Amino acid sequence: MELNKGVGGTGKLINESNLDFAVSAQKQTKDWLLQLAHVVRALLVGRAFENYNKRTAVSVMITTFEEMKLAYDPYAVDNLATRIAKKNVRNVRTIRSMIRDVIR
């Protein structure tokens, strides 16, 4: 909720179950890209927050990349969030692959 507030959102959850599922799914795998894909899906497809879901998803991805010291294209990350949301991509493995593609 703090990340959502940090990008200008209200932090108000409207689909808490989607976010809860993403957190529980993360515990099922050690693949960090798949873990990230679950969170991104909950934010962009599940619309976890009242507003600023795309900004929150971008912030989560960039924070993850920076913590792991990975090179990435910030414009590609922003475009990725838009594509996932517009195309309503639900498959986490597809989202995982899309995320991997923005890493240099």
Query: How many domains does the chain contain in total?
Result: 1
pTM above 0.85, yes or no: no
pLDDT digits (tens, 9 = 90+) for 31-46: 999 999 999 999 998 8
How far, in Å, are 16, 29, 79, 86, 101 from residue 24 at the CA level? 12, 10, 27, 25, 25
Distance (Å, whole) CA 8 – CA 11: 9
| Closest alpha carbon to 62 in 43, 75, 48 | 75
Sign of CA dihedral 67, 69, 75, 80: negative
Give me the CATH number covering residue 56. Answer: 1.20.120.1870
Average the pLDDT over each of 28-32, 41-45, 52-56, 96-100 and give the range with the smallest value. Answer: 52-56
Maximum distance among all Cα pairs of the chain, rounded to whole angstroms:
34
List the domain range (segments joined by +) for residue 57: 2-101
